[in-house]
């Protein structure tokens, strides 16, 4: 018996209707998926646009991206090579470095600059700002200087944006030259015993006939209008001290009258000049200062003519002298910035010699070559090493009898720290070394803007000579007598 089976309504619908329903459902599902993927794609696209906008907002974003990609490619290549040779390697360390690098790149620009500035501040206060080294035997001179020259106990604050030695050396010259105008000296032409002629430039403004006198010896090719000389002259004038700048033969606009010039090992010209100044001012206290090579000439005079110097000079000061000439030449010939400074000085020497047609040595590229080709032969030395041995001062401190203050910088490109005779100074009762951590060569710039006030070099200069030459209570005179008695006591066999 056949029976009818009840069919559900949806089955009984026509086939075309079912097909349309299925297609509609699939279309709705595809629409949802399409909307989801479109939404994700738009989100990803907007994220990339924002990231690109951040990169474009940085001044060097593209460069940083190139650096990052280069590091990425290098790391992938190195990892591939290691895998070929050693098998699979861990990438965790490399990924960590890249993640840190990417994190730094993703920082806002001002955050990145703030981090750099904070790091530099930490470096400046910890490594740059320091108290100077004070090297002198514990005795009367040391106690006098600590008491009366406050600068030697204070920290030296180099110019914040100019702490590197070569930068200090160059900028000091540029800034002082732009600020200090030429000084109107009273010029005296002094004739030497051999017929040579030198210029003595006096500044006596606002001083009296009994004011103390400082004889100043400039550097290698310096003269009275050199910027570092003018700052010392003006500083001394402010404390009522007369100055006379000794321009070496052939310098300062004076014609060379004899074949003889000047060198660091010969101090006969200085002897004549000091005797002449003493004869003109028999009852006035006198001091002397030498800068760079002028310091070598003064130092050799103090050591080789100790008894004579003790009678003429009350005190002396040497600034940025190359105490060990051998090490100084090695230092100035190091590439690349030091060598550039050395070439500049060598060119100055060549122009000085060529100006008077004494010898054509324009091919000299370093100071040592110039001294080998000209100076050593001109003054009768066997060779340049013989000349440097005679000129060097680091082993002659024990012969000095005049109280001497020496200022140097530990980063001087012309004289490395290990060339300074600090150990000998520790046992010397007459020689005191002050060594700043920074300062370059004849620079010692300090403060945010170095031209806003008197600088460290000239301030220490005026303080020292003010208390030793303007000695109204005779305190330094008593100390000098005590030092003389100590020398006599130790010299007794």
Instruction: Provide the annotated active-site residues.
Output: 292, 412, 441
Query: In Å, what is the CA distance from 317 to each residue of 2, 215, 286, 303, 324?
Result: 135, 10, 12, 14, 17
Please give the Cα distance from 163 to 440 (Å, whole number): 9
Q: How far out from the chain centre does Cα 102 lie?
A: 36
Q: Is 240 left (phi over 0), alpha (psi -120 to 50) or beta?
A: left
Query: In Å, what is the CA distance from 273 to each residue of 201, 215, 279, 300?
Result: 12, 9, 10, 15
366 Cβ neighbours under 8 A, 6+ residues apart: 329, 332, 333, 339, 342, 343, 346
**What is the greatest pairwise CA distance in the chain?**
159
| Contact assessment for residue 165 and residue 415, using Cβ atoms and an 8 Å cutoff | no
Please give the Cα distance from 297 to 263 (Å, whole number): 8
What strand order describes the sheet that includes 186-191?
Answer: 133-135, 431-436, 404-409, 315-319, 286-291, 213-217, 242-247, 197-203, 186-191
Query: In Å, what is the CA distance from 418 to each residue of 63, 128, 323, 399?
Result: 41, 19, 10, 21
Query: In Å, what is the CA distance from 129 to each residue of 122, 155, 230, 295, 458?
Result: 11, 6, 27, 26, 19
Would you state the structure tokens that stand for residue 127, as one six-digit string? 């490594």
Would you state the structure tokens that stand for residue 452, as one six-digit string? 């806003």
Q: What angle (nearest 5°) sits at the alpha carbon of residue 445, between those of residues 442 and 449? A: 150
What kind and span of H or E run contains 302? helix 293-304
Q: How far out from the chain centre does Cα 205 lie?
A: 33
In the block, which residue shows the tokens 């110097």?
A: 309
In the block, which residue shows the tokens 């100074």?
A: 425
Please give the Cα distance from 428 to 412 (Å, whole number): 23
Q: How far out from the chain centre does Cα 47 lie?
A: 49
In the block, which residue shows the tokens 């907002």?
A: 57
454 Cβ neighbours under 8 A, 6+ residues apart: 235, 462
Please give the Cα distance from 422 to 408 (Å, whole number): 11
What phi and psi values does residue 269 have, to the nearest 5 degrees? Answer: -65, -40
């Amino acid at each position: 018996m056949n029976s009818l089976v009840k069919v559900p309504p949806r089955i009984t619908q026509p086939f075309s209707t079912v097909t349309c329903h299925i297609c509609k459902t699939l279309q709705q599902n595809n629409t949802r998926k399409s909307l989801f993927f479109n939404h994700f794609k738009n989100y990803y696209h907007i994220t990339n646009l924002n990231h690109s906008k951040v990169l474009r907002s940085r001044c060097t974003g593209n460069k940083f991206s190139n650096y990052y990609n280069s590091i990425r490619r290098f790391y992938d290549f190195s990892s591939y090579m290691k895998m070929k040779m050693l098998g699979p390697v861990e990438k965790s360390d490399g990924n960590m470095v890249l993640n840190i690098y990417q994190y730094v790149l993703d920082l806002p620009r001002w955050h990145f600059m703030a981090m750099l500035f904070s790091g530099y501040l930490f470096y400046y206060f910890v490594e740059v700002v320091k108290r100077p080294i004070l090297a002198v035997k514990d005795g009367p001179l040391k106690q006098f200087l600590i008491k009366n020259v406050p600068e030697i106990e204070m920290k030296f604050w180099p110019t914040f944006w100019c702490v590197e030695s070569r930068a200090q050396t160059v900028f000091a010259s540029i800034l002082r030259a732009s600020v200090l105008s030429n000084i109107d000296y009273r010029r005296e032409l002094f004739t030497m015993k051999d017929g040579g002629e030198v210029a003595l430039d006096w500044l006596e403004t606002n001083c009296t006939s009994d004011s103390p006198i400082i004889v100043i010896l400039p550097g290698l090719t310096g003269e009275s209008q050199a910027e570092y000389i003018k700052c010392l002259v003006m500083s001394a004038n402010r404390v009522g001290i007369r100055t006379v700048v000794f321009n070496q033969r052939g310098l300062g606009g004076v014609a060379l009258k004899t074949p003889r010039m000047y060198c660091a090992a010969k101090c006969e010209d200085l002897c004549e000049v000091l005797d002449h100044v003493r004869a003109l001012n028999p009852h006035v206290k006198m001091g002397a200062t030498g800068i760079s090579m002028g310091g070598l000439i003064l130092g050799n005079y103090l050591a080789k003519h100790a008894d004579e110097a003790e009678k003429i000079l009350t005190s002396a000061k040497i600034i940025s002298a190359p105490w060990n000439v051998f090490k100084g030449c090695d230092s100035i010939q190091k590439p690349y910035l030091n060598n550039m400074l050395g070439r500049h000085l060598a060119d100055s020497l060549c122009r000085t010699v060529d100006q008077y047609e004494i010898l054509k040595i324009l091919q000299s590229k370093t100071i040592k070559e110039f001294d080998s080709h000209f100076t050593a032969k001109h003054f009768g030395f066997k060779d340049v090493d013989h000349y440097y041995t005679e000129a060097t001062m680091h082993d002659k401190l024990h012969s000095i009898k005049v109280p001497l203050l020496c200022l140097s910088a530990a980063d001087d490109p012309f004289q490395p720290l290990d060339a300074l005779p600090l150990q000998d100074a520790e046992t010397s009762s007459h020689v005191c070394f002050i060594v700043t951590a920074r300062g370059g060569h004849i620079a010692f710039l300090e403060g945010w803007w170095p031209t806003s006030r008197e600088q460290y070099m000239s301030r220490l200069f005026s303080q020292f000579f003010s208390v030793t030459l303007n000695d109204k209570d005779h305190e330094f005179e008593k100390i000098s007598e005590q030092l003389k008695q100590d020398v006599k006591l130790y010299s007794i066999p």
